[in-house]
A = this chain, B = another copy of it.
């Protein structure tokens, strides 16, 4: 995670942008071990809970920087706002979302990735990225 932070700072410097305390705070929130799929409001709330005063506008500006830098990805969980997760080096994955409780499980999809690459080639597309959302009822919610 420290390594990721250094990458972010290097990325900022290489673009002539500044390394600020506020940006580091937001970075740390997204990369914190307890964080999972936070949205902008979540990040803002958690910072305030830690007595760090950062405006929501700056949270948005910073997550946009992080997404551009490739260190964070914006994920769509079927809600009307984005969620953010560290891009890191772990394998690409899809999200399994419970329609009842909202719980989100990740699953790796290497098999699917191959199939998508095959389809892309067939259609003449130069692929960039893809995302998969699967909706259903988790074990607990399904019982009821």
B112 touches A125 (CB 8 A): no
Q: A132-B132, A133-B131 are in contact. Are A115 and B125 (CB under 8 A)?
A: no
A96 touches B120 (CB 8 A): yes
The winner among A109, A125, A131 for most chain B CB atoms within 10 A is: A125
Chain B residues with CB below 8 A from A138, complex form: 123-125
Total chain A interface residues with beta-carbon distance under 8 A: 31
The quantity of this chain's copies bound in the complex is 2
Chain B nearest CB, measured from A76 CB (Å): 6
Cβ contacts A to B, 18 pairs, < 8 Å: A96-B120, A98-B125, A99-B128, A105-B123, A105-B125, A111-B115, A112-B112, A112-B116, A123-B139, A124-B139, A125-B134, A125-B139, A125-B142, A126-B142, A127-B136, A128-B135, A129-B135, A130-B135
A binding-site residues for B, Cβ under 8 Å: 76, 96, 98-99, 105, 107, 109, 111-112, 115-116, 119-120, 123-139, 142
